[in-house]
């Protein structure tokens, strides 16, 4: 790889999506200017997957673990998880489909954008652990440009066709994707497979204490100079921006009854749905993703926290950053 310029320690560019809790991310922390560059998930993931120059980017947590398991040491992660999502709601079927429960997927064909994407890893792991559905009992269809080679034994077919169109034509039984296209919402022919997914997700959280992290902030060690102070500054920036969002109740001021929903949800999550740092619950969540990856043969075997977060990252906590 050709040499890339080193970052001046006085400033660092952080690329992540435009979330309510990152609205105040830019600022100076510990003498380092943190600059928030809003970027699309696709753009940021390509930087990491193709080993391109960047400073810090929001990245797929499953793909980060896979890359570390394959020996990539040019990148490391901070315990900042900017995007979390439950995955009970992620399988979309046609309105008239008889599929209403994970067990109904046995022997069926499900399309998905990429086999290794974190949303799919969580879904397969969740359905196996909570509902006894082995991912090997499902036939999978995905796009040709997969991020990683298909694990042995996986029944995966590749296609150039639009995945939503495959469902509409009846060639597959459902689609595993976080959100459908605007076109699909407009014609209204899809529904989420689990009809009571909010209650299912709430029950899962109350049972496990886990709100699944899907993305993590990663650092390019070939580019970033003075890694330790940069890591501390970026962590402090995320913690500060999130605290301001909570204080202002961002996301709860534009629609009716949202404040009541905010209060109920914050109580359920003990006032912090998005904890940063290697707290016990975050460690369990990351270890769960790693276990699912091993079970799904996307990595060769177990990988521990020490292989994913270095001593600097392990020392970061929100209490210390305030």
Mean pLDDT of 27-51: 97
| Contact partners, residue 214, CB within 8 Å, separation at least 6 | 60, 61, 81, 83, 84, 85, 118, 119, 122
Q: What is the pLDDT of residues 146-174, one digit of tens each?
A: 999 999 999 999 999 999 999 999 999 99
One domain, residues 184 and 286: no
Residues 163 and 311 in one domain: no
259 within 8 A of 249, measured Cβ to Cβ: yes
Q: How confident is the model at residue 16 (pLDDT cuts 50, 70, 90)?
A: very high
| Contact indicator for 285, 204 with CB cutoff of 8 Å | no
Within a domain: residue 4? no
DSSP calls for 190-256: EEESSTTHHHHHHHHHHHH----B-EEEEEETTT-SSHHHHHHHHHHHHHHHHHHHHHHTTTSSSST
Indicate whether 256 and 306 sit together in one domain. Answer: yes
95 lies in the same domain as 198: yes
Residue 189's nearest CA partner among 280, 268, 119, 96 is: 96
And the tokens for 205?
A: 């959280």
Same domain assignment for residues 98 and 198: yes
* Residue 251 banded pLDDT, cuts 50, 70, 90: confident
What would the mean pLDDT of 235-255 be, rounded to a whole number?
93
Taking the C-alpha atoms of residue 194 and residue 317, their distance in angstroms, rounded to an integer, is: 36
**157 pairs with which residues across the strands?**
141
Q: Give the residue among 103, 76, 105, 83 at the shortest CA–CA distance from 93.
A: 105
**Model pTM score:** 0.94
176 three-state secondary structure: strand
pLDDT, one tens digit per residue, over 111-153 is 999 999 999 999 999 999 999 999 999 999 999 999 999 999 9
In a domain, 160, yes or no: yes
131 phi and psi angles, rounded to 5 deg: -125, 0
DSSP 123-167: HHHHHHHHH---GGGSEEEEESS-SSPPPTT--EEEESS-HHHHH
In a domain, 6, yes or no: no
Helices (H), strands (E): how many in the chain? 11, 12
Percent of the chain past pLDDT 70, that is, above it, reads 96
Contact between 217 and 77 (Cβ < 8 Å): yes
**2 falls within a domain:** no
Closest CA to 237 of 55, 75, 53: 55
**One domain, residues 198 and 218:** no
Q: Are residues 259 and 182 in the same domain?
A: no
Q: What is the mean pLDDT of residues 96-101?
A: 96
Other beta carbons less than 10 A from residue 225's beta carbon:
14
- Co-location of 46 and 191 in the same domain: no
pLDDT digits (tens, 9 = 90+) for 264-313: 999 999 999 999 999 999 999 999 999 999 999 999 999 999 999 999 99
d(CA 116, CA 311): 28
Q: Could you say which of 178, 208, 238 is where a domain stops?
A: 208
d(CA 268, CA 278): 20
Same structural domain, 146 and 190: yes
42 within domain boundaries: yes
Range of the domain at 121: 91-208
In total, how many domains does the chain have?
2
Q: Which two tokens stand for residue 118?
A: 């974190």
Domain for residue 68, yes or no?
A: yes
Please determine, for residue 3, whether its predicted confidence score (pLDDT) is greater than 80: no
Handedness of CA 189, 194, 199, 202 (dihedral sign): negative
CATH number at residue 156: 3.40.190.10
Q: Mean pLDDT over all residues of the chain? A: 94
Q: What is the largest CA-CA distance in the chain?
A: 59
pLDDT at residue 184 tops 70: yes
Domain final residue pick, 185, 208, 231: 208
Q: How far is CA 230 from CA 28, 30, 186, 213, 314, in A?
A: 11, 9, 45, 23, 14
Percent of the chain at pLDDT above 90?
90
Q: Reduce the DSSP state of residue 295 to 3 states and report it.
A: helix
In a domain, 5, yes or no: no
pLDDT digits 0-9 by tens, 52-77: 999 999 999 999 999 999 999 999 99
Nearest to 25 by CA among 232, 81, 33: 33
Residues 169 and 262 in one domain: no
CB half-sphere exposure, 259, CA atoms < 13 A: 4
Position with higher pLDDT, 60 vs 257: 60
Q: Flag whether 29 is in a domain.
A: yes
| pLDDT on residue 2 | 45
Mean pLDDT of 177-188: 87
Chosen domain end from 174, 208, 242: 208
**Are 278 and 317 contained in the same domain?**
yes
Q: How confident is the model over 206-234, as pLDDT tens digits?
A: 999 999 999 999 999 999 989 999 999 99
Q: What does the CA dihedral 141, 143, 144, 146 come to, rounded to 10 degrees?
A: -100
In a shared domain, residues 226 and 302: yes
């Amino acid at each position: 790889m050709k040499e890339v310029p080193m970052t001046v320690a006085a400033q660092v560019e952080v690329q992540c999506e435009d979330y309510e809790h990152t609205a105040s991310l830019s600022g100076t922390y510990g003498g380092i200017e943190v600059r928030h560059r809003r970027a699309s998930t696709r753009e940021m993931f390509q930087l990491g997957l193709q080993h391109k120059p960047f400073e810090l980017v929001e990245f797929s947590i499953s793909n980060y673990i896979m890359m570390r398991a394959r020996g990539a040491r040019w990148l490391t992660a901070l315990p900042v998880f900017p995007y979390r999502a439950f995955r009970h709601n992620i399988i979309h079927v046609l309105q008239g489909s008889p599929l209403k429960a994970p067990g109904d997927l046995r022997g069926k064909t499900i399309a998905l954008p990429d086999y290794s994407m974190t949303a799919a890893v969580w879904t397969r792991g969740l359905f196996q652990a909570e509902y006894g559905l082995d991912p090997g009992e499902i036939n999978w269809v995905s796009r040709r440009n997969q991020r990683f080679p298909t694990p042995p034994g996986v029944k995966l077919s590749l296609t150039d066709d639009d995945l939503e169109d495959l469902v509409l034509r009846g060639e597959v039984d459902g689609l595993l994707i976080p959100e459908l296209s605007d076109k699909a919402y407009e014609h209204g022919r899809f529904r989420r497979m689990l009809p009571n997914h909010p209650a299912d997700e709430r029950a899962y959280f109350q049972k496990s204490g886990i709100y699944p992290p899907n993305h993590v902030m990663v650092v390019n060690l070939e580019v970033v100079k003075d890694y330790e102070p940069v890591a501390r500054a970026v962590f402090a920036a995320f913690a500060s921006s999130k605290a301001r969002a909570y204080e202002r109740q961002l996301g709860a001021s534009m629609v009716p009854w949202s404040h009541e929903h905010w209060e109920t949800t914050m109580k359920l999550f003990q006032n912090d749905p998005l904890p940063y740092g290697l707290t016990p619950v975050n460690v369990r969540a990351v270890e769960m993703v790693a276990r699912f990856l091993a079970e799904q043969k996307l990595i060769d075997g177990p990988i521990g926290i020490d292989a994913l977060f270095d001593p600097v990252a392990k020392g970061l906590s929100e209490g210390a950053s305030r």
